[in-house]
Amino acid sequence: MMVYHKLLKRQLQKYGDESLLENEAFLRFIDAVNDSYLAFDRDRELSEHAFSISQEEFSEINHRLKNEVNIREYSIEKLKETLKSVKTDTGLPDFNSDNLLEIVDILNAEISRRREAEKLLIVAKEEAEKASHAKTDFLSIMSHEIRTPLNAVIGMGHLLLKNDPRPDQVNNLKVLKTSSDNLLVLINDILDFNKIEAGKLDLENAPFSLKKLVTDIVSANTNNSNERENTIKAIIDQKVPELMIGDALRIGQVLNNLVSNAVKFTHKGNIDVSVQVKSLSAKTAVIELAIHDSGVGIAQDKIETIFMPFTQASTSITRQYGGTGLGLAITKKILNLYKSDIEVESEIGKGSKFFFTLELEIVEGNAADLNGDETLDFDLNKKHILLVEDTLFNIVYATQLLEGWNIVVDVAENGAIAVEKMRNEPYDLVLMDLQMPVMDGYTATTKIREFNNDTPIIALTASATSNVREQVLKAGMQDYVTKPFNPDDFYIKLKRYLA
C-alpha cells in the first residue's frame, strides 16, 4: 500500500470508510490527491529556501554598500583635508561641503589657476633666457671692444721694447707688457668661461702631437720658472703616440693653466710635468697628465672651492700672485667636455699634484706631418701687402710691424677702398679687418673674389667666436689672425701665404 502524505492519512482515518479503500477508482483519486499534497510541500520548501537565499544575498549587498559608503565618506574627508592643507599657498576658497561635485568645481578652478601660473612661469623663463643671452652678448661685445685698443697697447709695447729703448725705460716697458699681457689673459678667460657657460665651446678634432704640446708649454713657462728660481721639466713616456686626435688649443689651455699655477705657487722648488700612458689599444690611448710642484700647497678645506669661478684659496693670493680664480674653473669645464675630471692631491708647505686622464684616438704619422714646424727665417723683403683696417692704432701697429719685416704696406680704411685698390694694383696678400664702416670685410672679400681669385686674403679679427673660421672661409678668405696678434704667430701666417 502506498505511503500517503501525513495530512491525507489523518483525514482518511477520520472520514474514510474501509470499503472505499477497496474501490479502484477512489484509490486512483486518492493517489492523485496524495501527489498534490506532496507537490505542495515541495513547492513550499523550495519557496522557503529561495526566500532564505535572497535574505543572505540582501544582507551581503547591504554590507557591501555600507562599506562603500564608508569608504566614500572617508575619501571625501581625506579630499577635504588635503584641499585644506594646500589651500594656504594656492588661495583655494573656504569650503566645507561633502558634495563631490562642488569639490570637483573647486578643483577645476584650481587647475585653471595653475595653468595660468604655468604660462606666467614660461614667460618668466623666456625673459630670464633672454637676459642671459643679453649678458653673453654684452660680454662678447665688451671684450671685443676691449681687445681692439688692447691690441694697440700690446703692439706698441712690443714695438717700443724692440726699438732700442733707453735703459731707464726698459723696466717700465716690461711692466706695460706684462700688465697688458695679463689683461689679455683675463679677457680671454672671461670670454672662454662665458662661452663654456653658454654651452658654446665646441672641441675641435684634429691630429696633434701631445709630446710637442707638452714640451712647448714647458718651454713657454721656463722663463717665469727661472725667475722664481724653480726647475721645471717634462717627463714623457716613450709609449705616448706621436699623433692623436684632439683639440690642441683647449688641451694646451688646460696644461698651461696648471703649469703656470704650479710655477706661480712655487719658489725655489721643482715642477714636473709628466705624461704617462695608462693603457693603449690599436685605436685609442688613455693618457695621464700630471703637474707636480713642490710649492705652497693648498689647505684640505679649500681643495673643493678652488675649482669654483672667481675663487682663490686665500684672499692674500690675489695681492701676492694676482689672477682671477677663473683658470681652474675653465680647466675643469674643458676636461668635463672630454668626459674627464681634474684631480688634486696637496699638502700645505709640501706642494701639489694636479692630474687628469684623457682618452684620445690615435692616428698614423708624426709631428713633422703637421704644418706647425715653421721657422722664423723667411725673407718677406719687398712683399706688397694691402692692409684693410679702420682703427688708427691698428694701422700704426700693423704697419710698423710689417715694415719691420721690410714689407711694403698700403692701407685702405674700409672695404670699398680696398676693392678699388685691388682693381688697380697687384698685391701679394691682403690683410682684411672684418668690422669696418662703409663696407665690411666679408662684403669686400666677396666683391674682390668676383675678379681676383689668386691673392690670399687673411682676416684680422678681434672676435674669438668659434664659427669665425667657417665664416671667413665661406666669404672666400684663406685664413684669419686674431687680434691682438702675437708677432711671431703673425709672421708664421704671413710666411705660409707669401712663400
Site residues for ligand ADP, 112-131, by CB under 6 A, read none
Name the pairing type of β-strands 270-280 and 284-293: antiparallel
Which one of 143, 256, 257, 294 is in contact with ligand ADP (CB under 6 A)? 257
Q: Considering the complex, what minimum distance in angstroms separates the CB of residue 189 from ligand ADP? A: 8
Q: How far apart are CA 481 and CA 433, in angstroms?
A: 10
Q: Is 296 in the site for ligand ADP (CB under 6 A)?
A: yes
Q: Is 312 in the site for ligand ADP (CB under 6 A)?
A: yes
Q: Is 2 exposed, middle or buried (CB count within 10 Å of its CB: 0-12, 13-18, 19+)?
A: exposed
Pick 252 or 295: Cβ nearer ligand ADP: 295
Q: Considering the complex, what minimum distance in angstroms separates the CB of residue 298 from ligand ADP? A: 5
Hey, which bits of 379-478 come out as E strands? 384-388, 408-412, 429-433, 457-461
Q: Tell me the DSSP string of 167-217.
A: HHHHHHHHHHHHHHHHHHHHHHHHHHHHHHHTT--PPP-EEE-HHHHHHHH
Which one of 155, 295, 415, 484 is in contact with ligand ADP (CB under 6 A)? 295
Residue nearest to ligand ADP (CB): 323
Pick 252 or 325: Cβ nearer ligand ADP: 325
151-159, 193-201, 274-282, 289-297 -> range binding ligand ADP (CB under 6 A): 289-297
For the record, the C-alpha cell of 360 comes out as: 684620445
Pick 331 or 391: Cβ nearer ligand ADP: 331
Q: Is 317 in the site for ligand ADP (CB under 6 A)?
A: yes
Pick 230 or 357: Cβ nearer ligand ADP: 230
Whether the link from the prior residue into 484 is cis, omega within 30° of 0, is yes
Which one of 230, 352, 414, 461 is in contact with ligand ADP (CB under 6 A)? 352
Q: Considering the complex, what minimum distance in angstroms separates the CB of residue 403 from ligand ADP? A: 37
Q: How far apart are CA 361 and CA 358, in angstroms?
A: 10
Q: Is 192 in the site for ligand ADP (CB under 6 A)?
A: no
Pick 230 or 312: Cβ nearer ligand ADP: 312
Cβ partners under 8 Å of residue 481, min gap 6: 431, 458, 459, 460, 461, 489, 490, 493
Matching residue, cell 675649482: 307
Q: Is 313 in the site for ligand ADP (CB under 6 A)?
A: yes
**Of 68, 321, 290, which is closest to residue 182 (Cα–Cα)?**
321
Pick 293 or 413: Cβ nearer ligand ADP: 293
Pick 223 or 424: Cβ nearer ligand ADP: 223
Q: Considering the complex, what minimum distance in angstroms separates the CB of residue 489 from ligand ADP? A: 24
Name the pairing type of β-strands 351-363 and 243-246: antiparallel
Which one of 293, 389, 413, 433 is in contact with ligand ADP (CB under 6 A)? 293
Site residues for ligand ADP, 261-280, by CB under 6 A, read 261-262, 265
Pick 15 or 310: Cβ nearer ligand ADP: 310
Q: Is 209 exposed, middle or buried (CB count within 10 Å of its CB: 0-12, 13-18, 19+)?
A: buried
Pick 293 or 389: Cβ nearer ligand ADP: 293
Phi/psi at 370 (nearest 5 deg)? Answer: -85, 150
Q: How far apart are CA 253 and CA 361, in angstroms?
A: 19
Q: Is 325 in the site for ligand ADP (CB under 6 A)?
A: yes
Q: Considering the complex, what minimum distance in angstroms separates the CB of residue 369 from ligand ADP? A: 34
Q: Considering the complex, what minimum distance in angstroms separates the CB of residue 327 from ligand ADP? A: 3
Name the pairing type of β-strands 243-246 and 206-208: antiparallel
Pick 191 or 285: Cβ nearer ligand ADP: 191
For the record, the C-alpha cell of 295 comes out as: 710649492
Q: Is 217 in the site for ligand ADP (CB under 6 A)?
A: no
Q: Considering the complex, what minimum distance in angstroms separates the CB of residue 91 from ligand ADP? A: 48
Q: How far apart are CA 181 and CA 150, in angstroms?
A: 9
Residues 237/276, Cβ–Cβ less than 8 Å: yes
Binding mask 62-81 for ligand ADP (x = CB under 6 A): --------------------
Binding site for ligand ADP (CB under 6 A): 257, 261-262, 265, 293, 295-298, 306, 312-313, 317, 323-329, 352
